[in-house]
Amino acid sequence: MAALGHKEQKPITGKRDPGLEMVKAIRGANILLVEDNIVNQQVATELLEHARLNVTVADNGQVAAEKVKKEAFDAVLMDVQMPVMDGYAATREIRKEPQFKELPIIAMTANAMMGDREKSLQAGMTDHVSKPIVPRELFGALARWIAPGEREVPKIIDEEIPGMEEPVTGTPLELPGFDVENTLARMGGSHDVYRKILAKFVESEEGAFEKILLDMREGNVNDAMRGAHTMKGVAAMVGATTLSSDAGELEKALLAGVETVPDDLIARVRQTYNNTLEIVKTALSIKVDEDITINEEVISKAELLGELRGIAKRIEEFDSTVEDAVEKLISRVDEPKLSASLGKLQYSLGKYDFDVADSLLTKIVEDLSDS
């Protein structure tokens, strides 16, 4: 079935977005959102549904290409980095069908650079918006390409359009270190929407750093890079700027290969990741797993040395479970340099490199004894 109500496709230009008021003229339009990450899905869906648009979600390009053939859509919002089939390949697949030559397909990427725009054009995409999603930019692109018309408009309780300078609503969240102001603006000023997005963030990112480490240990550099890229994007989406920056640094480091990634960078990302999850869980009153809680009870120097001696013995015995003991220890340390050193130790143990781990542990104990 051909897509309905789209305009003649034109090249991407730098013309100004028409403004959010124009989204009212396309209310009721059917949008296919192609996005693999649940946080990004939630953010985009909240914004689109509050704008009185109908949203269908596909979690990869292959599913999107199949859905387009079965359902009528006025536009497609296409993430470009996805498993199974990425956005570029999906767009080329969709464009093979003559009836979809003019279907508006709008690329969504975390880095809206000129290179991304050119690549999007070459793949047959119509326009390009950046992530984290900015409501004005997103609605402007949709209004630019979807023909106005009378459509059945979905009913919602809140008829305000996010981003229309509406007042801040809901109970404020305590999120130290987060860019709450700009993130809240992207959520249409609603703390309640922000809260829902943060809950999805916890669901999405719980265990994500461990998965990146596992991919690194097994030599799956592309999967590790994708994990770091996703973490960078979703962290930016919820205002966790430090985690986004650190994950982006890890993504870049992985370009040169797993072996060249500095241990101190891995330790820093681990600490930032754990801190970020704890802050969000605390803000949402989610029970924090005792195994990863940070500084639940800061350990004394004497107790720490005792724990390290026990770990040393387990390293000598090549105990494959000793990594978990180090992780629990990290959660009770409040000194950044020591935490980073323990992070390096944990990473070595995760690779079963017991010789390196033994050397690192010896250095940690020496430094503690001298302090």
Domain boundaries, the chain: 20-145, 180-283, 301-370
What integer is the mean pLDDT of 105-126? Answer: 80
pTM over 0.95: no
Mean pLDDT of all residues in the chain? 83
Fold topology of 180-283: Four Helix Bundle (Hemerythrin (Met), subunit A) (1.20.120)
Bridge-based pairing state of the strands 30-34 and 54-58: parallel
Q: Which CATH superfamily does the domain covering 20-145 fall into?
A: Response regulator (3.40.50.2300)
Q: What is the pLDDT of residues 228-242, one digit of tens each?
A: 999 999 999 999 999
Measured from the Cβ of residue 303, the count of other Cβ atoms closer than 10 Å reads 13
Q: What is the pLDDT of residues 55-80, one digit of tens each?
A: 999 999 999 999 999 999 999 999 99
Note the helical H segments in the chain.
38-50, 61-70, 87-95, 114-123, 135-145, 180-186, 191-205, 208-217, 221-237, 241-254, 263-283, 301-316, 322-330, 336-350, 354-370
Q: What is the pLDDT of residues 81-114, one digit of tens each?
A: 888 999 999 999 999 999 999 999 999 987 645 5
In the block, residue with structure tokens 């690194």: 216
Task: Identify residue 205 by its one-letter amino acid code.
Answer: E
